[in-house]
Chains A and B, each alone.
Chain A
Amino acid sequence: MTADLSETKPLTARIVAGRAPLNLKEYEAAGGYRAVRKALKELTPADVTKAVKDANLRGRGGAGFPTGVKWGLVPSLEKAPGSRYLVCNADEMEPGTFKDRLLMESDPHQMVESMIVAGYAIQATRAYIFLRGEYIEAAKNLNAAIAEANAAGYLGRDILGSGWSMDLHVHTGAGRYICGEETALINSLEGRRANPRAKPPFPAIAGLWGRPTVVNNVESLCNVPHIVNNGSAWFLGLNQGKSKDGGTKLYGCSGRAKRTGIWELPIGTTAREILEEHAGGMKDGLKLKAWLPGGASTDFLMPEHLDLAMDFDTIAKAGSRMGTGLLTVVDDRQNMVSVVRNLEDFFARESCGWCTPCRDGLPWTYKTLVAMEKGEGRPGDIEQLEKMTRFLAPGRPFCAHAPGAMEPLQSALKFFRGEFEATIKKIDQTTATHAAA
Chain B
Amino acid sequence: MSTANSSSNPSADVIKLADLVASASLPPTDGYRMSDEERHEIEECLHHYDDNRAASIDALKIVQKKHGWVPDGAIAEIGKVIGIPAADVEGVATFYNLIFRRPVGRNVIKICDSISCYLTGYDEVRNAISAHLRINLGQTTPDNRYTLLPICCLGACDKGPVAMINDDTHGNLSPDTIPALLEQYK
Chain A residues within 8 Å of B, Cβ to Cβ: 83, 92-98, 100-101, 126, 132-136, 169, 171-177, 188-194, 209, 252-256, 260-262, 292, 296, 326, 328-331, 334, 339, 342-343, 345-346, 348-353, 359, 363, 366-367, 370
With A and B bound together, what is the CA distance between A133 and B108 in angstroms?
Answer: 14
Is B141 engaged at the interface, CB distance under 8 Å to the other chain? no
With A and B bound together, what is the CA distance between A343 and B11 in angstroms?
Answer: 12
- CB pair B153–A94 under 8 Å, yes or no, is yes
Given A83-B50, A175-B99, A346-B152, 8 extra CB contacts under 8 A: A95-B152, A96-B153, A193-B92, A296-B114, A339-B115, A343-B115, A345-B10, A363-B10
- CB pair A292–B56 under 8 Å, yes or no, is no
13 A-B residue pairs with Cβ-Cβ distance under 8 Å, sorted by A, are: A95-B157, A97-B153, A97-B157, A133-B98, A171-B58, A174-B61, A174-B97, A175-B3, A254-B116, A292-B115, A339-B119, A343-B115, A346-B113
- CB pair B113–A345 under 8 Å, yes or no, is yes
- CB pair A254–B54 under 8 Å, yes or no, is no
Is B186 engaged at the interface, CB distance under 8 Å to the other chain? no
| A-facing residues in B29-87 (Cβ within 8 Å) | 48-51, 53-58, 60-61, 82, 84
Q: Among A190, A296, A363, point to the contact of B51 (Cβ < 8 A).
A: A190
Is B136 engaged at the interface, CB distance under 8 Å to the other chain? no
With A and B bound together, what is the CA distance between A88 and B116 in angstroms?
Answer: 25
Digitize B92-132: 1 where CB-to-A-CB distance is under 8 Å, 0 elsewhere: 10011111000000000010011110111000000000000
- CB pair A96–B152 under 8 Å, yes or no, is no
- CB pair A260–B92 under 8 Å, yes or no, is no
Q: Collect the chain A residues with CB atoms within 8 Å of residue B27's CB.
A: none
Q: In angstroms, how far is the closest chain B Cβ from the Cβ of A174?
A: 4
Q: In angstroms, how far is the closest chain A Cβ from the Cβ of B29?
A: 20
Q: Max chain A CB contacts within 10 Å: which of B3, B9, B88?
A: B3
Is B151 engaged at the interface, CB distance under 8 Å to the other chain? yes
- CB pair B115–A98 under 8 Å, yes or no, is no
- CB pair B114–A96 under 8 Å, yes or no, is yes
Q: Among B11, B49, B97, point to the contact of A175 (Cβ < 8 A).
A: B97
- CB pair A100–B118 under 8 Å, yes or no, is no
- CB pair B116–A169 under 8 Å, yes or no, is no
Q: Among A101, A292, A345, point to the contact of B155 (Cβ < 8 A).
A: A101
Q: Which residue of B lies closest to A97 (CB)?
A: B155
Q: Collect the chain B residues with CB atoms within 8 Å of residue A97's CB.
A: 153, 155, 157
- CB pair A349–B9 under 8 Å, yes or no, is yes
Q: Which residue of B lies closest to A208 (CB)?
A: B50
Q: Collect the chain A residues with CB atoms within 8 Å of residue B61's CB.
A: 133, 172, 174
Interface size class of B (residues with CB under 8 A): 35 or more
Q: Among B50, B150, B152, B167, point to the contact of A177 (Cβ < 8 A).
A: B152
Q: Collect the chain A residues with CB atoms within 8 Å of residue B4's CB.
A: 175, 349
| 8 smallest beta-carbon distances between A and B, as pairs | A254-B157, A174-B96, A353-B1, A95-B114, A260-B158, A191-B56, A175-B97, A175-B98
Q: Among B56, B110, B115, point to the contact of A328 (Cβ < 8 A).
A: B115
- CB pair A96–B116 under 8 Å, yes or no, is yes
- CB pair A194–B155 under 8 Å, yes or no, is no
Q: In angstroms, how far is the closest chain A Cβ from the Cβ of B4?
A: 7
Q: Collect the chain B residues with CB atoms within 8 Å of residue A328's CB.
A: 115-116, 119, 157
Q: In angstroms, how far is the closest chain B Cβ from the Cβ of A97?
A: 6
Q: Collect the chain A residues with CB atoms within 8 Å of residue B96's CB.
A: 173-176, 194
- CB pair A174–B48 under 8 Å, yes or no, is no
With A and B bound together, what is the CA distance between A175 and B110 in angstroms?
Answer: 12
Q: Which residue of B lies closest to A283 (CB)?
A: B120
Q: Collect the chain A residues with CB atoms within 8 Å of residue B48's CB.
A: 169, 171
With A and B bound together, what is the CA distance between A100 and B155 in angstroms?
Answer: 9
Q: Which residue of B lies closest to A408 (CB)?
A: B115
Is B156 engaged at the interface, CB distance under 8 Å to the other chain? yes
Q: Collect the chain B residues with CB atoms within 8 Å of residue A349's CB.
A: 1, 4, 8-10, 150, 152
Q: Which residue of B lies closest to A354 (CB)?
A: B1
- CB pair A134–B120 under 8 Å, yes or no, is no
Q: Collect the chain A residues with CB atoms within 8 Å of residue B155's CB.
A: 92-93, 97-98, 100-101, 132, 134-135
- CB pair A256–B120 under 8 Å, yes or no, is yes
Q: Among A133, A326, A346, A348, point to the contact of B157 (Cβ < 8 A).
A: A326
Q: Which residue of A lies closest to B160 (CB)?
A: A254
Q: In angstroms, how far is the closest chain B Cβ from the Cβ of A35?
A: 25
Q: In angstroms, how far is the closest chain B Cβ from the Cβ of A419?
A: 16
Q: In angstroms, how far is the closest chain A Cβ from the Cβ of B129?
A: 18
Q: Collect the chain A residues with CB atoms within 8 Å of residue B164's CB.
A: 134
With A and B bound together, what is the CA distance between A339 and B113 in angstroms?
Answer: 12
Q: In angstroms, how far is the closest chain A Cβ from the Cβ of B7?
A: 12
- CB pair A190–B157 under 8 Å, yes or no, is no
Is B142 engaged at the interface, CB distance under 8 Å to the other chain? no
With A and B bound together, what is the CA distance between A265 and B70 in angstroms?
Answer: 45
Q: Among A194, A334, A350, point to the contact of B152 (Cβ < 8 A).
A: A350
Q: Max chain A CB contacts within 10 Å: which of B11, B55, B97, B158?
A: B158
With A and B bound together, what is the CA distance between A101 and B158 in angstroms?
Answer: 12
- CB pair B97–A176 under 8 Å, yes or no, is yes
Q: Collect the chain A residues with CB atoms within 8 Å of residue B119's CB.
A: 254-256, 328-331, 334, 339
Q: Max chain B CB contacts within 10 Å: which of A95, A101, A132?
A: A95
Q: Collect the chain A residues with CB atoms within 8 Å of residue B60's CB.
A: 174
Q: Max chain A CB contacts within 10 Å: which of B55, B91, B98?
A: B98
